[in-house]
């Protein structure tokens, strides 16, 4: 089992921000994201569901699931600049490489894990539409050598 070093919602460095467990799921998150979570309209129901689970003896209740809008990729808008995950430029051909940061041209909802696709332009001038998972959360630290 490994302890997360960065907030799963926004990418903040947890050694600087402090960390806490989400009420919605088992994400380890920063205190800012906890505050956002507490202000979410679904929070009281998530809290009640956890209390009910504990009362029936379910000590490892995984939570009711986190609303997607509490994750960083739900807040990205066209015109925002994102850094690509280093794995992209390592594995793609040079004309498919992305600048860091890269401007987001379009945001498209999708049935992918993150639920959102970002259209960007590669260094070769092609438009590519990639899952949000190919980009780093805005608050995550700069990769060495990137
Ligand atoms: Zn956070």
145 pLDDT above the threshold of 50 = no
- CB-based contact 47:23 (threshold 8 Å): yes
Residues with a beta carbon under 5 angstroms from ion ligand 1: 7, 9-10, 12, 30, 33
Q: In angstroms, what is the span from residue 20 Cα to ligand 1's centroid?
A: 10
Mean per-residue pLDDT, 117-136: 96
145: three-class secondary structure by DSSP:
coil
* More confident: 1 or 137: 137
Cβ neighbors of 66 (< 8 A, separation 6 or more) are 22, 24, 25, 27, 37
Q: Where do the domains of the chain lie? A: 14-67, 72-145
Q: In angstroms, what is the span from residue 140 Cα to ligand 1's centroid?
A: 10
- Domain 72-145, CATH class in plain words: mainly beta
62 pLDDT above the threshold of 90 = yes
Mean per-residue pLDDT, 66-75: 92
Structure tokens, 66 = 């986190």
Average pLDDT, the chain: 92
Q: CA of 121: how far to CAs of 28, 112, 134, in Å?
A: 33, 21, 14
Q: In angstroms, what is the span from residue 35 Cα to ligand 1's centroid?
A: 9
Mean per-residue pLDDT, 108-127: 92
Share of the chain above pLDDT 70, in %: 95
- CB-based contact 86:58 (threshold 8 Å): no
Distance CA 101, CA 114 (A): 20
Q: CA of 72: how far to CAs of 7, 39, 76, in Å?
A: 10, 16, 7
Share of the chain above pLDDT 90, in %: 82
pLDDT at 114: 79
């Amino acid at each position: 089992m490994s302890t997360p070093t960065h907030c799963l919602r926004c990418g903040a460095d947890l050694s600087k921000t402090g960390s806490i467990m989400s009420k919605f799921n088992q994400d380890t998150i920063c205190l800012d994201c906890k505050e956002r979570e507490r202000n979410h309209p679904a929070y009281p129901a998530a809290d009640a569901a956890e209390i009910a689970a504990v009362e029936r003896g379910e000590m490892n209740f995984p939570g009711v699931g986190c609303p997607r809008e509490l994750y960083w990729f739900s807040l990205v808008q066209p015109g925002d600049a994102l850094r690509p995950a280093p794995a992209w430029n390592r594995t793609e051909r040079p004309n498919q490489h992305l600048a860091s940061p890269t401007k987001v041209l379009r945001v498209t909802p999708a049935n992918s894990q993150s639920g959102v696709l970002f259209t960007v332009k590669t260094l070769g001038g092609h438009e590519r539409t990639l899952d949000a998972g190919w980009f780093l959360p805005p608050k995550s630290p700069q990769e060495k050598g990137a």
